[in-house]
Amino acid sequence: MDNPSDPAAPDLSGTLSAPGPLDHRGRVVLVTGGTRGIGRGIAAAYRAAGAEVVVCGRTPPAEEDGPAFTACDVRDPEAVAAMVDGVVERYGRLDVVVNNAGGAPSVDSATASPRFNEKVVALNLLAPLTVAQAANRVMQAQEAGGSIVNIASVSATRPSPGAAAYAAAKAGLVNLTRTLAVEWAPRVRVNAVVAGLIATEQVHEVYGDDAAVARVAATVPMRRLGTPDDVAGACLYLSSPLAAYVTGAAVEVHGGDEWPSYLEALGEGARPVTPPPAPPDASG
């Protein structure tokens, strides 16, 4: 979707129509949680790159002309196995899995219930492992192997008040990525995308009105929130031949993260006020 805080956000729709290293024609891609938000953008980017795309979720997407959909609760190992088997039965292969399903509401760490914490960890750490295991069994038997991309978060790399279990699960996901990359090489590559503050269709529910969104965007060195296309671009790279020697990586897509607040407290290092650069011309 368009980034409400910056018209310079990238648009991948016109850059993937011609054959090239990011071309995914003839490949089958599964995106968990691919019916909305970041996952929806990732699925659209792979479709634009020519891939056969399957998305899963608990409810089908609103649009009828989107990618193939299969209902699945990724926390259920039997449901995950059936989903992967169904993809292989329909398309004959599975080349790329993007473990995108995840998330958690903000909650006070002191009062969060054990059941709540268990559910958060199950969705954001154990479910990606379950999906990866099912995909790996298929990919190891394929001549071309496969690629798994886990969508992590900057919450994995810094304190995240109100999201203790979520942040810990995402930190675990980064370590899981590196561990599986070692165990499953060379046939299957496993990488992560560490996403920063991303503007989706729920941006106003998360941050507030346009003014609040702009204030949040101003804390990012790139002077804007990220978009699903930003995350999708990293996924396309990691699953492409350009990344043939890349595995166990955690690619940070966060616009430079955040301006150090201690500099402002010291009265030093004022933030630059220059506007963001114009988007690159992708016509050539």
Q: What's the angle, vertex CA 24, arms to CA 23 and CA 25, rounded to 5? A: 100
Task: Mark whether 166 is an active-site residue.
Answer: yes
Q: What angle do CA 35, 126, 44 make, to 5 degrees?
A: 20
The token pair that represents 187 in the structure block: 């046939």
Q: Can you state the angle between helices 114-121 and 164-184, rounded to 10 degrees?
A: 30
The residues near 265 (Cβ < 8 Å, ≥ 6 apart) are none
Q: Contact at 8 Å (CB) between 76 and 82?
A: no
Count the helix, strand and coil residues of the chain and give each as a percent rounded to the nearest 5: 40, 15, 45
Q: Say what the alpha-carbon torsion angle 25, 27, 30, 31 is, to the nearest 10 degrees.
A: -40
Q: Which of 234, 250, 252 is nearest to 242 (CA)?
A: 234
Catalytic residue among 166, 207, 245, 262: 166
First to last CA, the chain: 23
| Residues 185, 76: Cα–Cα separation, whole Å | 26
Helix, strand, or coil (residue 242): helix
Q: What does the alpha-carbon distance between residue 40 and residue 88 come to, in Å, rounded to a whole number?
A: 21
Contacts for 262-271: CB closer than 8 Å, 24+ residues apart: 271/218
Task: Supply the residues annotated as catalytic.
Answer: 166
